[in-house]
Amino acid sequence: MQELLVLSLAFYLLGLIQAGLVFFQKPRLPFAITFVSSLSGFILHTIALVIRGKQVERCPIALQPELLLFLGWSLAAYCIAAFIWNRNQVFANYVFPLAFLSTLIGVILPLPPVSPLGLRLGGSLLFPIHVSMVIFAYTAFFITFVTGLIYLFQERQLKQKRFKSILGRFPALDTCDSIGYSSMTIGFILLTLGIMTGIVWSGQRYGIYWHGDPIEIATMLTWVNYMFMIHYRVTAGWRGRRAAIVSVVGFTFIIFSLVGLKYLGRVHVSVG
């Protein structure tokens, strides 16, 4: 499995190089080469996750390295879809480095060959559905985060009247705002489903629906943050700079959840 992941990273590297060439306005690689390389890496990444699942006899998304590998896989899936639907690769070029980095960290972190007995989930589908929904939501929030950063950077450059050629390398402000809101809405729906399935699964497994551990709290804060953001966008017309700032702030809760999963909490340590 590890060899497949390393090989997939090698294929992903071409996508990373393409992102750098686009940013620095260098001659781009042919689209076909970038697409085939990225798709090959994604296929190998998928096979590696399937093999891991068979090795541990469960859905391979319980431990922190597995979560990072799955997050990288989700981001790579977004990039592949963007390559197919939008050949100018505008946002894929800014998301792909995140896919590469997440996968790389997942490969580097030590991964036990077999699962502790506590992670054998007895064939329950609720746990993999819960984690998958949360990670897919985080992937969508990654997109919102990236668009927020791009928006704030461009706005600052424009306010300071720094009309550099670098601005031509980014999407328009309205495009950033629109894609960021769409991704945030999708992420919010997925996170809601993830929280709901997690509560039901916890009740079935432990007889307790809410444990109050730090990871659960961080996840709920993430949910509340995006709920208020969507609410005020609809009711008060929050757009542009204010929406971008809130999306960046909300992303800190996600970082806390991903990084803190290994070190904080009781229940989530036992399953991650």
pLDDT in tens, 34-52: 788 888 999 999 999 988 8
Where in the sequence is the domain holding 204, given as residue range(s)? 122-272
Write down the pTM of the prediction.
Answer: 0.74
Per the CB < 8 A criterion, the answer to whether 53 and 69 are in contact is no
pLDDT, greater one: 203 or 22: 203
103 and 204 both lie in a single domain:
no
141 and 12 both lie in a single domain:
no
Angstrom distance (rounded) from CA 63 to CA 9: 20
Domain count for the chain: 2
Longest dimension (CA), the chain: 60
Whether 218 is covered by a domain: the verdict is: yes
Angstrom distance (rounded) from CA 74 to CA 46: 10
pLDDT score recorded for residue 165: 56
Instruction: Return the structure tokens found at 198.
Output: 């997690």
131 and 107 both lie in a single domain:
no
169 and 243 both lie in a single domain:
yes
* Cα 58 versus chain centre, distance: 22
Give the end of a domain, one of 91, 112, 133. Answer: 112
Whether 117 is covered by a domain: the verdict is: no
